[in-house]
Each structure stands twice: as C-alpha cells, then as structure tokens.
Structure 1
Amino acid sequence: MNNVIKSTLFFAGCLLIISSCAVPSLVQKNKVLSVPSSFHGSTDTSNAATIIWRDYFTDPYLIALIDTALKNNQEVNSLRQEVLISGTEIRARKGEYLPYLGVGAGAGFDKHGRYTNIGAMEANTEIAPGKEMPEPVPDMSVAFKAGWELDIWKKLHNAKNAAMARYKGSIEAQRFFTTRLIAEIANTYYELLALDNQLINIRQNLDIQQNALNIVKLEKNAAAATELAVRKFEAEVLKNQSRQYVILQQITVAENEINFLLGRFPQPIQRNAQLFSTLVPTLVHEGIPSQLLENRPDIRQAEFELQAAKLDVKVTKANFYPAAKIVGGIGFQAFNPAYFLRSPESMLYSMGGEIIAPLINRNAIKAQYYAANYKQVQAMYHYEQCLVRAYTEVLNQVSNISNLDKYYELKSKQVLALTESIDISNSLFKSAR
C-alpha cells in the first residue's frame, strides 16, 4: 500500500514539473499613469463629490422628476438586473470549489449468450438459495454519488474572486449611470426653465415693439416718419414673433427629453419658471485629483474590472497544472428492490481519485491563457482612459465655472450700464419735450 502511495506521489510530481515548465510566458503592462496632484495648482481639499443630490437640488419639481427617473428609467432597471446576474455568477463560482453530493437510481436487465463465459456461469449459479438465475437478469440500484475537485492552485477561488470583482463593478456601473442620469435631468430641466423665461421676455418685448410700431404708424400718418421706418419696425416685430416658435420647439424637445429619461411617453413637465431668476448656484469645490479614485464610480468600476482580469489570468494559468479530483459513492444494488435492505450483501460503494495534467495538444488552454492576458492589458488601458477622462472632465468644469463667473460679472455690469442709459434717455426725452 505504501509503495502505491509513493508511486502515485512520484507520478504526480513528475506531472507537475512537466506541466509547470511548459506554461507560456506573457508580456504584461504594469505601469499606470500617475494622476496629477492638483487641478491647475489648486490647493483646495474640499470635495463636492460627497454631497448628496437631494441636498444639492432644492427645487421640489426637479426632485420629483429625479425620483421618478430612478424608479422607471429602463436603463437603470436593466443595470439592476445586471447586478443580480453578476450575483448569481458568484454563487455559481462559489459552488464549484465545494464538494457536491447527488443521488441517483437506475434499472435495467442483461441477457448474455448461453455459450459465453458469463452465460455459462449464470446457468450454473443460483441467484438465491434454491432459486435459479432468471433470464434476463434485472439490475436495480439506488446510490449517493459525491465528488470534490481539490483547489490546489486556487483556480476555483480565483474564479470566485473574479466574479466578486465583476459584481462590485456592476454596482459601480449602476451608480455611474445613475449619477449621469441625475445630472442630465437637472441640466435639461434648468434649460427648460431658461427657455420659459426667454419666451416670457420675448412676449413682453413684442408688446413693447407692437406699441412702438403703432406709434411709428401714427407718426407716418402725421408725416413725422417715413414708410422705411414703419417697415423696419414691422420686420423687427415679425422676427420676434417667429422667434417664439423656435423657442416653443426647443421647449417641446426639452420636455420630451426629460420624459424619455423618466421612462415614460411625452407629457407636460410640471415646473415653476419664476424660480429660475431666484436660483443661487451652490458653491462647488473640485478637491484634489486623488479623490477621483474614491468618488468616481466609473473609475472604481474600471478598477474592479482590472482586478477581475488579473484573476482571470491566474485561473487560465492554473489549467496548465495537474487537477486532482476525489470521487466516491455508496448505495444499494440488487435484482429485486426487496433485497435493498439486506445489508451488507446489497450494499455497493466506491472511492477513488485522479490527477490529470495536460501534456499534448494544449492549444485550447493556451488560447484561453493568451486571451485572458490580452484582456488584462486591455483592462489596464481602459483604467488609464477612465483616469484621464475623469481628470479632464473635472478640469473642464472647473474652468467652465471660473469663466462663467467672470462672464456673469461682466454681463451684470453691462445690464447696469444699459439700465443707466435708459434712465438718461428718459431724462433727455422729458427735458426735450
């Protein structure tokens, strides 16, 4: 018995040496882009990414729209299903490295030729004391079967961990889309309020221009103005009248876009256009670039995908090593079920083990190994791309906020100057009269 064990261990060691020496070498990409330490030299360490959207937006109509979208948007619900699918993959991978136990039953019969060795023995054998062997011979069995693949190289554990990483990545993908969805709804909603106010301003200007046109017509009748002046005023009135329909179309498109994001067919969007003039933007802090790694769901998703890809390489590499498996079974077998309870005569059992290592024609596992490595490198590039894109997006928004602040400051001065010019014009007009 000891000699058999020693021979088995020696054979397994030889298989390990042969197979491990034949694992293909790979070229890996290990260097990752370094994230800059700040945005254009900013030392602000405050982080606006930790603000909850319900605390950032105060418009009740907008909050209601976002709540509806988070509940009904088809893409959000689809990503929720993707998370559930990833969760089932974890269960499947976890079950692979645990022992399995099954139960089975079978029935059949055999009839051998009389002039064969088995047939001759059956003809001269009693199946029970004083009872001849029946023809054909029934065979019935019921047994429990068990098996366990020993996870020597952590292949199954790595596969489970890869599934876990992808599960976490699917959660981050859902969070990233949710963030984008909230931002898109808010952006379109405020554009809609701006269009409402533009329409109000145009209609107010039309009333003023129509009155001015009537005055010019009266002046023309009194020979105080020319037909050219009348036509110029009419053209200006018609231009603003046509402008109304352009804005109305933009309002329709914006409303339909919001309804689409909410996962419903077009319908009016409830809103209060008067709130637009009272909006005060919340102060936003960009923080430092390293905080992107903590708060950007797309970066976290790419990181989890990279972890999974690295684990996949380990899983496929383990295919080159010997795999050990233990199998066994226990049950009852007899020509008649009535004999099942006659133990140990009707009992059957088995126990065995095997070690298998690939030696010849390993093209399939080589292809899997190379493909896993290529996907790992691809995941690394995708991770770097997410870092660059996230940094660029934040930098663009920081620049946008700064330039808009300066633009708003100059526009405020322009409005003040125009308001003062109107007052001066009114004073001159009154003094001239």
Structure 2
Amino acid sequence: MKIKQLSLILAVGVSTSVLTGCGIYNKYNAEKIDSDLVKEYAEALKQQDDSTAFGNLSWRSVFTDPALVDLIDRALANNKDLRNAKLNVDIAHAQLKGAKLSYLPSLTFAPGVNGAKYGHSDLSWNYQLPLAVNWEIDIFGKILNTKRGAQVAEMQTRYYEQAVRSQIIAGVAQCYYSIAALESQLKLSRETSELWKESVNVMRNLKEAGRLREDAVVQSLAQYYSIEATITDIELSLHEANNTLSLLVNEMPQKWTISPDATLNVPVMKRTAIPMAELAVRPDVRASEMTLASAFYSTASARAAFYPSLNITANG
C-alpha cells in the first residue's frame, strides 16, 4: 500500500514539474528574457521614480500660460481619441471581470411547457424545469492564463490611454507655440515688407535722379516680391496650425487668438542620451510591454489546451 501511495505522489510531482517546465503556470517576467536591453529595462522599473525629473512633472507645472491651460483642458474633455481610449479601458475591465467569473460554476435554467391532446381526451400539460450545473476545475491553468491575459490587457489599455493623453497635451502645446511663433514671424515679415516697399520707391527716385542704374531697382524689387511670397507661405502655415489645433480641441475650425509673445520656459537639459529609467516609465513603452505579456499568456493558454479538462456537471 505504501508503495502505491509513493508512486502516486511521485507521479503527481513529476506531472507538476513537467507542466511547470512547459510554462503553463509561469508568470510573465521581463528579467527572464534573454536580452541585455530588456534586463536593463526590468532593472530600471525597480528604481524609485524621481518626482523632480522633467518627465515626471505634472503638465500644469510645465505649462503655466492660462490660455494654453484652458486649451489643454478643453482638448482633454472633448478629444475623440481620448474618449475612445477610455472606452477601451472599460471594455478591458469588463473582460477581466468575465475572466474572474470563469472560476465559478455555470448554471443553465431553461424552463418549458408543452400540451398534448389525443382524441376526445382533455388537453394534458407537461412542465419541464431543467437545471444544469457545470464547474470546470482549473487543473492545467486554462482559466488562470485567461485571467492573467485579461489583467495585462486591461493594464495595456490604461497605459495606452495615458499615452494618448500625453500626446494630446504635447500636440496642443506644440500647436499653441507654433501659432505664436508664426504670428510673430508674420508680423515681422509684414513690417519688413513695408520697409522694402519704401526702399523700392527710394531706389526708383534715385534712379530717376540719375544716381542709380536700373539693375539696382530691379534687385530691390525682386527682394520685395520674395518677402511678399514668404508672407503667403507663413499665412498658409498659420492656417494649417489653426486647423490642427481645432481638430485637437474637437471644435469648429477657427482662427485662435494667441499672443505672438507667448514663450515656453523649461529647464535646459544637457545630456548625450536618455536614461533607461525615464524610458521605462513612458506609457507607450509600458503598453508595448503589456502586449508582450499578453502574447506570453496566450501562448501558455494554447499549451494548456493540449491537456484534458476536468468538469463537474449535474443535471436535475
């Protein structure tokens, strides 16, 4: 009897070791990936975030212009891409709830009634109230890997939402200061154009007085036309920048009133490369990592599908 018990224990132990070796029960761990870059990334995730680093500052402490802050708030409230990202988070959260409920038994209740009549007999009724219970025992990790995959999928959507949020803030700020720079450039170009226009008139007067030749007047006129063409290009770029900002804020295309003197004061960072600690906290990088983790658990689920399933069923 003891030999049979020992054999059973050894068989269970060997089976567990084989299943673990196949990666069915393993958790995703970036440190186990055979890549120096990924291992460096995993080590950077363990470091404590530096709250004073420029990348970890709140956008409100970086962008202090009241007009820009108002535009960013409107973009975060109205942007369709951000709304879509938030809906994806809700979908992933609901899928995670469904994966967790897979551990519970399922109940099927399908009541029915039918009647039959033969000859001159009265109509006889037959009532059915069947109840079926099915409970899958997760021995080989099928439900476990599905739940873990749903967890990393939810984390991926949250990181993606954060990445979209960061892109919207950066996009609005970039358009804002681009419009300010173009307005300043347009103002300077128009003032320069007026000066060259007066210069052309002076050249013509000097030419009529016999003090200059025709080629000097032609060169001055060509420079004036060149500046006029530049003004047209600046106006086109300004129109495109206004349309881009309207698209980000999700409002009708309009000309945004932005002061040409608007400037951004940020600390000067002198370095030759970006530290891994800053790359590791980027939401788009974390979202890509969650995509890899999701593929890891999908592979584990596919391996678990080769093993039999154990279901406890009851009908009444």
* Matched residue, 2:285: 299
Cα 1:83–1:205, aligned 2, differ >3 Å: closer, same or farther?
same
Equivalent residue letter for 1:269:
W
**Partners of 1:180 and 1:188 in 2: how far apart?**
12
Bigger CA radius of gyration: 1
**Partners of 1:196 and 1:55 in 2: how far apart?**
25
Q: Structure 1 residue 69 and structure 2 residue 75: aligned?
A: yes
Measured after TM superposition, the shift of residue 84 of structure 1 is 1.3
Q: Structure 1 residue 283 and structure 2 residue 268: aligned?
A: yes
Equivalent residue letter for 1:161:
R
**Partners of 2:70 and 2:177 in 1: how far apart?**
14
SS in 2 for 1:188: helix
* Matched residue, 2:301: 315
Measured after TM superposition, the shift of residue 111 of structure 1 is 9.1
Measured after TM superposition, the shift of residue 283 of structure 1 is 3.3
Measured after TM superposition, the shift of residue 284 of structure 1 is 4.1
SS in 2 for 1:298: helix
Equivalent residue letter for 1:169:
Q
* Matched residue, 1:408: none
* Matched residue, 2:155: 168
Aligned equivalent of 2:247, options 260, 268, 272: 260
Measured after TM superposition, the shift of residue 159 of structure 1 is 0.5
**Partners of 1:310 and 1:24 in 2: how far apart?**
12
* Matched residue, 2:132: 145
Cα 1:150–1:110, aligned 2, differ >3 Å: closer, same or farther?
farther
Q: Deviations over 1:111-138 (max 9, x none)?
A: 99xxxxxxxxxxxxxxxxxxxxx78864
* Matched residue, 2:177: 190
Q: Which has the higher contact order (CA 8 A, sep 6+)?
A: 2
Cα 1:315–1:174, aligned 2, differ >3 Å: closer, same or farther?
same
* Matched residue, 1:233: 220
8 Å CA contact 1:213–1:233 kept in 2: the answer is yes
Cα 1:99–1:60, aligned 2, differ >3 Å: closer, same or farther?
same
Q: Deviations over 1:50-78 (max 9, x none)?
A: 01111111222222222222122221111
Cα 1:322–1:173, aligned 2, differ >3 Å: closer, same or farther?
same
**Partners of 1:107 and 1:221 in 2: how far apart?**
112
Cα 1:74–1:194, aligned 2, differ >3 Å: closer, same or farther?
same
SS in 2 for 1:328: strand
* Matched residue, 2:234: 247
* Matched residue, 1:217: 204
SS in 2 for 1:274: coil
Equivalent residue letter for 1:315:
S
* Matched residue, 1:199: 186
Equivalent residue letter for 2:214:
E
Aligned equivalent of 1:59, options 40, 59, 65: 65
SS in 2 for 1:152: coil
Equivalent residue letter for 1:185:
V
The within-5 A match list for 1:343-362 is 349=316
Q: Structure 1 residue 34 and structure 2 residue 34: aligned?
A: no
Overall identity of the aligned pairs, in %: 25
SS in 2 for 1:146: strand
5+ residue gaps, structure 2, are 1-7, 24-31, 42-49
Measured after TM superposition, the shift of residue 201 of structure 1 is 0.9
Count of aligned pairs: 283
* Matched residue, 1:178: 165
Q: Structure 1 residue 92 and structure 2 residue 92: aligned?
A: no
Measured after TM superposition, the shift of residue 226 of structure 1 is 2.0
**Partners of 2:291 and 2:153 in 1: how far apart?**
6
**CA-based RMSD:** 3.4
Cα 1:82–1:54, aligned 2, differ >3 Å: closer, same or farther?
same
Q: Deviations over 1:56-107 (max 9, x none)?
A: 1122222222222212222111111111111121122122221223433222
**Partners of 1:285 and 1:228 in 2: how far apart?**
50
**Partners of 2:131 and 2:246 in 1: how far apart?**
58
**Partners of 1:37 and 1:285 in 2: how far apart?**
23
SS in 1 for 2:129: strand
8 Å CA contact 1:83–1:170 kept in 2: the answer is yes
Equivalent residue letter for 2:218:
R
**Partners of 1:136 and 1:218 in 2: how far apart?**
118
The within-5 A match list for 1:154-165 is 154-165=141-152
Equivalent residue letter for 2:194:
D
Q: Deviations over 1:150-208 (max 9, x none)?
A: 11223112201110110110110111122122222222222221111111111111222
Equivalent residue letter for 2:303:
K
Measured after TM superposition, the shift of residue 36 of structure 1 is 10
Equivalent residue letter for 2:293:
Q
